[in-house]
């Protein structure tokens, strides 16, 4: 662990926390928005703890996760679309709370919260299994194909975890409108995966054979 890595990680964490809070509570017009606080707790507390663990035990992995500069033009488009989608979903959630457009039953909020945490655990397992995992689409020197654990079932378990995370956000926020907006993540992640696989087949030795062995990309028996 280095001081520079700590400062970089904390800076990005606090920036994400502040931006999320602004996008939720400013449109809501109040801090008395339970769904907003619930999402912040579910999203940022595990993120903070995971960051601490990586900083102590796997600083190089944390450094990779902090690097968000995409090289592929198609991935830059994906990142931009994702950012717009999240901003729209959070703003819509705040406005939904302010004006009381639509409501979500309590049992669905609780179920979505459990799914959110389960997806976080899956994400943590993916981080444990794949030491080459990066936020950007790239192949590093010495990288090898990971085909055990979750990677023996689907080729992109990290994206499966994020899909569950993001689709749970709408109910957690108490906003059906946000859920509808976040459905836009499905075509976005499909676009990202297709481009990523072209890069991996081209640059990562053994990936083409792995792709033939493990049939499903995101969801077993579906796609």
Domain regions of the chain by residue span: 3-213
Mean pLDDT of 211-217: 93
Banded model confidence at residue 185, pLDDT cuts 50, 70, 90: very high
Given 3-state DSSP classes, what are the helix, strand and coil percentages for the chain, each rounded to the nearest 5? Answer: 75, 0, 25
pTM of this structure: 0.87
- Angle 106-129/34-57 helices, nearest 10 degrees? 10
Report the pLDDT averaged over residues 156-160: 93
pLDDT of 135 higher than 70: no
Rg (CA), the chain: 18
What average pLDDT does the segment 68-75 reach?
A: 65
What would the DSSP string read from start to end of 142-210? T-----SGGGGT-S-HHHHHHHHHHHHHHHHHT-HHHHHHHTTHHHHHHHHHHHHHHHHHHHSTTHHHH
Angle at 194 between CA 186 and CA 156, to 5 degrees: 70
pLDDT exceeds 60 at position 1: no
DSSP character for 103? Answer: -
**Is the CATH number 1.10.3470.10 carried by domain 3-213?**
no
């Amino acid at each position: 662990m280095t001081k520079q890595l700590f400062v970089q990680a904390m800076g990005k964490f606090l920036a994400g926390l502040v931006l999320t809070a602004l996008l939720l509570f400013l449109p809501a017009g109040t801090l008395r928005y339970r769904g907003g606080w619930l999402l912040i707790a579910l999203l940022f507390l595990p993120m903070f703890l995971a960051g601490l663990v990586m900083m102590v035990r796997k600083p190089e992995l944390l450094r990779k996760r902090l690097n968000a500069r995409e090289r592929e033009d198609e991935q830059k488009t994906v990142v931009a679309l994702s950012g717009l989608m999240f901003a729209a979903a959070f703003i819509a959630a705040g406005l939904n709370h302010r004006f009381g457009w639509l409501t979500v039953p309590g049992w669905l909020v609780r179920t979505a919260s459990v799914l959110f945490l389960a997806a976080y655990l899956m994400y943590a397992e993916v981080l444990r299994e794949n030491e080459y995992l990066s936020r950007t689409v790239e192949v590093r020197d010495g990288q090898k194909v990971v085909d055990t654990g979750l990677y023996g079932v689907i080729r992109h378990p990290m994206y499966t975890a994020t899909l569950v995370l993001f689709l749970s956000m709408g109910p957690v926020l108490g906003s059906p409108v946000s859920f509808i907006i976040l459905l836009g993540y499905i075509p976005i992640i499909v676009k990202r995966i297709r481009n990523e696989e072209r890069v991996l087949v081209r640059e990562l030795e053994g990936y083409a054979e792995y792709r033939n062995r493990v049939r499903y990309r995101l969801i077993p028996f579906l796609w």
